[in-house]
Amino acid sequence: ELVFGQAGAARDFVYFYIGAFAGGGIVLNGRLYSGPKGNAGALGSMPVPGPDGKPTQLIDVASIAMLEKALSAKGIDGSYLWTSPQEWGDIGPELDEWIVSASRALAYAIVAASSVIDFEAAVIDGWMPLDVRRRLVEAIRQAISGIDAEGLKLPFVREGTVGIHARALGGASLPLSERFLVRPNTTGGA
């Protein structure tokens, strides 16, 4: 999203990519921030309330693997989730239930992240059809409104603009960015 997307004027945002796993990254001052140990942006590991109310990791609630697991429990082959990310067709109540649980978990993750860093935006993207992403973002906005965030100015929650290939493009661009882009704490030429 930072390099290939349309981040607009946002220079500080938290980015969630929902795919086989839930993960993402942190952008501060227009640059990817991974922290001194590489843990910054390990959003899939973020603790959130699970379905039973007990803490669990975001990855165990919001990943598409959880949707596939729910479909399998109903005897439905969900392998098309991985082969047809542009069109899933009519999944039914399992998709609705996944959107509710994933949006709640993502809402908590956004509020928690915002209590540490003052983000301008929270960007949601992933391996899913555009209409599903749109529904997820709207559900996250609704879920955030139900969380006590007194004292916080929460970021605007919006859809990503890169889509299903964001993870691959981002991963492929890291070596180039590391080698050729000027680092924030360096002086002089490239």
pLDDT, averaged across the chain? 85
CA distance 159 to 161: 6
pLDDT band, residue 8 (cuts 50/70/90) = low
Q: Are strands 121-126 and 31-33 parallel, antiparallel or unpaired?
A: unpaired
Rounded Cα gap, residues 32 and 141, in angstroms: 24
For the domain with range 13-180, which CATH number is right: 3.20.20.190, 3.40.1350.10, 3.30.420.40, 1.10.260.40? 3.30.420.40
The 10s digit of each residue's pLDDT in 177-188 is: 554 444 444 333
Give me the percent of the chain exceeding a pLDDT of 90.
63
Q: Choose the most confident range, by mean pLDDT, from 18-32, 60-74, 84-98.
A: 60-74
Residue 19 has pLDDT above 90, yes or no: yes
Residue environment code for 23-40, b if the CB has 16+ CB neighbours within 10 A, otherwise e:
bbbbbbeebbeeeeeeeb
Domain boundaries, the chain: 13-180
pLDDT at residue number 7: 57
pTM score of the predicted model: 0.85
